[in-house]
Structure 1
């Protein structure tokens, strides 16, 4: 069986694999480039004992096993980002052998080549926006004459401040995504992650991915710096990640067989 990490184009040299890591998703199994016209597939051999259709579903239930292999998949893709145009494949894209993979490449050649044109010369960057909400409930007050009225006034004030902060956040999120997307070739706002997943302080309000031409990266990052300055006093902070393989912009990829 063959495990496919990515489809590549524009690789230096005739499908030179010098930039690939020594091993991929299976320890000791080398990663190589399988040429197909102007494209190549980054692959490594895997065993049906672990990756066959009967064994794989059970393996994927093992969090440690899966986590290690997700990271290995990512390492291979990352090794190609700076030396080629990369179309990352989904985790566990598998083929029975080279003939089946070449047949899939032939069937999807036009779509893959069109995607290469769209991705060429650009990399994916991620921006997450976090927000710390003001308290919705007022601080407790001392008991005494007028305490009840004061409490409800403070509660109304807290709710008003929360509503104003949420309106400012909505504007900040929309403006942030608009300005970052304007300097990118393509952009997508992914679903925000709950706190149990992102493990950051505050609420995630934007989980954006941006396909940025290399020539425009400095200007794009300056746009992000301007946003940080603009919203520094609004409880908003940004987290930049990347560059990544363009996972969010490759389309459907290949269906294994």
Structure 2
């Protein structure tokens, strides 16, 4: 039940289990609010169901209405410090649930006027959520990124030009060498991407291709591949080892495997009832 002046914030969809019930008793959400499971019915005295379909639940907590109503969210989405805090807490809750049960992460700032509205949304989407959770069960997300080192596209130091070489000719030779070096490194990146795709075809059940990262996220390196893979848990070690082995064949690149993550890249958008404020695009 909501406290006065609060909204219901939903972090993820999962299946209610005894293990998860016990874990949520020690976890907290945004603003250190207690977490709770919202099932399609409001009777929280029911025993933990024995079938997954009956145990579908939202992971939720109360958040202050003054901070999460539509107007407040529009303002807060310009506040990077606030965004970082909410995103980190949201992620921590989802990861904690993922360690104990199949989880379908919802986007940050999915809020409802109260528990009743949240349960209505869960009931309306129950079949879709259940089908998606079945696909994600015993799977984990891993990311693979390919980076070009800052100096990888620079030509090697050139020998001193003969005295007869004009400055213009020397400049053109240097540019030609740089272009050839850059083309060679990009060709290596394409070959590496093909090698990773071949590995993923043996292990991954789904792939999402994200846009390469830029700016502060990559530093001086250039990110040229940023893919996410849904990997069965019993194949995760083989997948990581195969990518690491392939990376050794491309010394001019940095190939990074990230994870394990909750399956953010493979979750559906959160339901959007009329009373759920939407983050600005």
Structure 2 length normalisation: TM-score? 0.81
- Cα separation, partners in 2 of 1:247 and 1:20, compared to 1, 3 Å: farther
Distance in 2, Cα, partners of 1:121 & 1:213: 6
**Once the two structures are superposed, what CA deviation does each residue of 1:115-155 show, in whole Å capped at 9, x if it has no partner?**
01110111111121111232169758457213454553443
Distance in 2, Cα, partners of 1:120 & 1:173: 27
User: Is the aligned partner of 1:84 residue 2:89?
Assistant: no
Please name the residue that 1:152 is paired with: 172
Distance in 2, Cα, partners of 1:86 & 1:141: 62
User: Is the aligned partner of 1:72 residue 2:89?
Assistant: yes
Shift, 1:58, TM fit: 1.1
Distance in 2, Cα, partners of 1:174 & 1:195: 25
Within-5 A mapping of 1:1-257: 1-9=7-15, 11-13=16-18, 16-19=21-24, 22-27=27-32, 29-36=33-40, 37-132=54-149, 133-135=152-154, 139=158, 141=160, 144-148=163-167, 149=169, 151-199=171-219, 201-231=220-250, 233=251, 235-256=252-273, 257=276
Moved more, 170-179 or 222-231: 170-179
Distance in 2, Cα, partners of 1:143 & 1:171: 37
Structure 1 length normalisation: TM-score? 0.89
Q: Matched residue pairs, number?
A: 252
Distance in 1, Cα, partners of 2:221 & 2:132: 37
Shift, 1:168, TM fit: 2.2
**Once the two structures are superposed, what CA deviation does each residue of 1:181-216 show, in whole Å capped at 9, x if it has no partner?**
4311111110001133333x4210111111111111
Distance in 2, Cα, partners of 1:241 & 1:78: 14
